[in-house]
Structure 1
Amino acid sequence: MENSCGLLMNRPVQFLLVFKKHSLFKFKSFSEKIKEVSFSDKISRGDVIGLLLDIKVPGSKKRQIGNEQLFKLSETAVLRKIFPVKGISRGYHISCLSSNQLCVSDNNSLVFINFKCEILHQLSDIESGRQAHAATKIGDLIYIDKFYNIKKVYSTDNTVSTLLKTSEPWRPWCLHSSLLTEDLLLLMRKRNEDVCDYTKAKVTRMTSTGDHIQTIQYQSKGKKLYSRPVCITENSNGDIVVSDYDYGVVVTDKGGQYRFSYTGPPSGSRLLPQGICTDSLSNILVSDRHTFQIHLIDKDGNYCFLLQTSKQGVETP
């Protein structure tokens, strides 16, 4: 077994299969996790590390190694590659469909490109100027059209189907497709009669086929969670993370219970959050329209640092 592991260190799928097949590996917690793994080409080295970190040796007094000790966070972004995108005037939002395909949108268009910057497909009915699309776990694309309907683009043949039609006065503002549950998280805003004034907001969880599961709108005692929400994502622990112009970064758990809000670093500088995502260590990254920098906070809302991008030519992330 030792020789097999040595040969498979750079091949994570085969590495895990070795552990799954060997009866010598008796750690119950790890074995249960291995059985839950769906082995595919999408398993990354990070997945392997995450599983190995969950091993708890009975009776061991050694301190467990945490993710923080395996990865070093850098306060300066590293430029990997530049992708010139034709067909759009400026990039508002991006979704990664696969290891070789991206979707980028502006006010008028949504373009599908490969990493050679070739346009593979293009749509013109997308809702403008915000997080109006998201990739699913299997590489399809979900997006909001100009009539605020939710549509799906199938990766197999680029056909489009309608998942959900808008029910006024609530409109989907942005969305996220869960990689944990494959549910669809919609950030909804309510229009005030015939005026373009959105006075209420909520998060709606739906199945991948458009059936309603959950609504998240209030804290305890009826206090509203969201005021002017902008973007939404999900953390690896199931937390739902929303950027809000008035309330900062608002985080609830999977059940909708309020966890915390982040309104800026300890210095107290004003935060005007827009695009938001999480990384492999469950940190939250949010772009700040006020300072044009990216705030990095941990999964519990503690400020870590501002991620510098201007040296790489990204002035307005």
Structure 2
Amino acid sequence: MDDSITYLNNLVKELHRCLSSTEPQKLLSEEKPNIQCITETTKPVTPGFTAGQCSKSDITQLLCKIHVPNSKAEKREIRPIENIYNTVKKPDMKQTMSLSVSVTKVREFNVPEVDCLFHVSLHQPNKLWISYSDGNLVQTDLQGNEVQKIKTNGGSEGYHTVTQDWDLIFTDRKKNVINMITQDDNITEFIKTGEWEPLSIHSSHINGDLLVGMNRKFEEAKVTRYNKTGKELQFIQRNNKGQKLYDMPHHITENINGDICTSDFNNTVVVMYKSGQYRFAYTGQKSGFRPSGICTDVLGHILVCDSDSVHLHDQDGQFLSLLLTRQQGVDIPCSVCVDDQSNLYVRGRTIHEHIESVQVSPVKIVIL
């Protein structure tokens, strides 16, 4: 077909050349173009389909077969979901945790001269940063020995966090700045938040970003994301319908899948996708839910303190259980965090008015 098309194009050019001649006598004397017949092409034959039949043996030869032995099914114990939810293995997980709601005393742990703890941040191995009512921020070891103390303008919010490089970062609500204390104990103003009052802060264990819960004149609230250098990357304030998401996000954390989890004074836990899209909200199992401290573990579970218990959820917001309650001897938990060894630190007090540690096997619950 290509050869035929080339031939016809050349023939057309030859005919146009003859027709454009201005000397008719010369045209008549010239040899006429040799016009050849075009070779016939073969018409394609469309294939047809004829329905057929196949047997089980034909399918078996192609796909093999499954043999089910003639035996009785194994009886398995049916357990409550709160006892088996965490048996699924997740990537990069050091060990599988199996939580139980039975609580036993492990050891005593006191923080001397501290009467009212509010927020706990994990520092280097075996060290904690603890804030309390008068604005002091104290670093202690796990025996309660004070390592250092600094004076801040913080309050009862989750206003301090520790970075991947073990630097302490805390907010100043009076000056609207975010401060950093490096390993050599230098304090610098890291980020200025303008007219927005920084309430809560969390340093991402995924990429080092800072998540900050903010409030402006008690009328507007948002969550802002900064990178390691203090550059603003994102802010989340309203949902896709233009409705406000927060009143006062006073505790904030991040899940292993990048979800942003906040406790708000509007008695709601708000969870957003990393992109800033609304994911879900949790308002408790009964009226009077007052969420405060919030954290997540290596499995993505969300733990949030209420006035009389610690609520446990999976990463999709499904309620699993009340981890600690007044019936188990724990009162007024308001801060919670988990370390890499699955030790769960809870700020609270016991009904018997002494500070102790309890264990939810094999996860340690340290009451501060």
Deviations 1:78-113 (A, max 9, x none): 554443113433110011111121111112200111
Match of residue 217, structure 1, among 219, 237, 243: 237
Aligned partner of 1:104 in structure 2 is: 130
Match of residue 239, structure 1, among 259, 262, 282: 259
Whole-Å separation in 1 of the counterparts to 2:118 and 2:199: 14
Aligned partner of residue 242 in structure 1, secondary structure: strand
Aligned partner of 2:226 in structure 1 is: 206
Aligned partner of residue 270 in structure 1, secondary structure: coil
Match of residue 184, structure 1, among 198, 207, 210: 210
What is the number of residues matched between the two proteins? 243
Q: Return 5+ residue gaps in structure 1 as ranges.
A: 1-48, 54-66, 192-197
Bigger shift: residues 241-250 or 297-306: 241-250
Bigger shift: residues 279-288 or 111-120: 111-120
Task: Indicate whether 1:95 and 2:121 are aligned.
Answer: yes
Give the C-alpha shift of residue 143 in structure 1.
Answer: 0.4
Task: Indicate whether 1:229 and 2:249 are aligned.
Answer: yes
Deviations 1:221-257 (A, max 9, x none): 2111112322110001100001123251111111111
Larger Cα Rg: Structure 1 or Structure 2? 2
Whole-Å separation in 1 of the counterparts to 2:254 and 2:277: 14
RMSD, aligned α-carbons: 2.2
Whole-Å separation in 2 of the counterparts to 1:139 and 1:52: 21
The 4+ residue runs of structure 1 with deviation greater than 6 A are none
Aligned partner of residue 220 in structure 1, secondary structure: coil
Q: Name the CA shift for 1:97/1:52 in 2 (closer, same or farther; >3 Å).
A: closer
Whole-Å separation in 1 of the counterparts to 2:269 and 2:184: 37
Whole-Å separation in 2 of the counterparts to 1:304 and 1:298: 7
Match of residue 301, structure 1, among 314, 317, 320: 317
| Contact 1:296-1:307 within 8 A present in 2 as well | yes
Map residues 239-258 of structure 1 onto 2, 5 A cutoff: 239-246=259-266, 248-258=268-278
Q: Write the letter of the residue equivalent to 2:186.
A: T
Give the C-alpha shift of residue 165 in structure 1.
Answer: 2.4
TM-score, normalised to structure 1, is 0.71
Map residues 70-85 of structure 1 onto 2, 5 A cutoff: 70-77=96-103, 79-85=105-111
| Contact 2:214-2:248 within 8 A present in 1 as well | no
Q: Return 5+ residue gaps in structure 2 as ranges.
A: 1-88, 334-368
| Contact 1:76-1:308 within 8 A present in 2 as well | no
Identical aligned residues as a percent: 39
Q: Name the CA shift for 1:72/1:89 in 2 (closer, same or farther; >3 Å).
A: same
| Contact 1:133-1:142 within 8 A present in 2 as well | yes
| Contact 1:79-1:312 within 8 A present in 2 as well | no
